[in-house]
Amino acid sequence: MRILVTGSAGFIGFHLARRLLGEGHEVVGLDALTPYYDVRLKQQRQVLLEAMPGFRAVSGRLEDAGALAAAFADAPEVVVHLAAQAGVRYSIEAPFSYTESNITGTLALLEAVRSRPVKHLLAASSSSVYGMARQASRETDGTDHPVSLYAATKKATEAMTHSYAHLFGIPTTCLRFFTVYGPWGRPDMALFRFTEAIAEGRPIDVYGEGRMRRDFTFVEDTVTAVTRLIGKAPVQGQPVARDSLSPVAPWRVINVAGGRPVELMRFISAIEAAIGRAAQKNMLPMQAGDVTDTAAEVALLRTLVGDVPETSVEDGVRAFIEWWRGWRGA
């Protein structure tokens, strides 16, 4: 298939594009290589993709009409929209970067898809839309109380894609990702920051007094789920068990996770074990915009794609640190 991946030099986008290329698909990767974190990491990911047969890179932002036109020049059959301004805490510092990328950029992409119909549009959302939920979140649960602007823009992504699915018949799946981690991860995420600090003997800041839980999802498991979902475009009027399928559009939202939340302190212990060094911990209260728990109900995911691999946090953290050691020495 011909597949357009937006945000292909990003963390999940890179892993997804590499998997799709390895399976023999043609992939166009659209990415602006923005400097939210060290651009060299994005450049290194892109170099690896460009070395693979079937990959074509397009440089530019979603808001750039010329870049979008170039990305759609090969008439993609599927679009996986992962490009976004990420990060809950940064949304407090730079809110307009979120509305520009996550709302205006998504709208520009939807207009492009409207003009050049595809078999399936998959768009990244986030577990953050569930807000302060304290139980396993099901796709049909309410999402009316976001506690960060980042979450609000992801809720807007879901709403905008639904409206276009209804108006123009675009088969759309919104992907609610849950704390994805692994090799080539983002430097602003806890795993990267904790690893560097522990390895260098610096203290780590543990927010929420360490009582938080996250449905940590290893990146390769995430990619396995997404690649299987590509062929599962929603059809209006044909729901499956426990579906979130819209009654008025070929649109559904789905949790992409393992469904097994892990305590933050266990996650930190896995890092300590893999590095072979204990962490100095600064125990701090919750930060604004953070949530105490994320946990996914994954029955719908399993109905659609079957069982997805569930890498343990110990194995996943070990894989990240093996990569990190090689990357830091490069």
**Neighbouring C-beta atoms of residue 55, cutoff 10 Å:** 21
**Amino acid letter for position 288:** A
Q: Is the dihedral of CA 124, 66, 39, 221 positive or negative?
A: positive
Dump strand ranges (E) for 73-214: 78-81, 120-126, 172-177, 180-181, 204-206, 213-214
Parallel, antiparallel or unpaired: strands 213-214 and 262-263: antiparallel
**Amino acid letter for position 6:** T
**CA–CA separation, 65 and 149 (whole Å):** 26
Parallel, antiparallel or unpaired: strands 26-31 and 78-81: unpaired
**CA–CA separation, 212 and 220 (whole Å):** 24
Phi, then psi, of 166 in degrees rounded to 5? -70, -45
**CA–CA separation, 211 and 287 (whole Å):** 13
Q: What is the four-CA torsion angle of 283, 284, 286, 288, rounded to 10 degrees?
A: -140
Asked if 166 and 246 count as a contact pair (C-beta separation under 8 A), the reply is: yes
Which residues carry out catalysis?
A: 150
**CA–CA separation, 15 and 25 (whole Å):** 14
**CA–CA separation, 21 and 50 (whole Å):** 10
Cα radius of gyration (the chain): 19
The tokens describing 107, both together, are: 């709208």
| Helix runs in 169-312, H state only | 190-199, 219-230, 264-275, 299-305
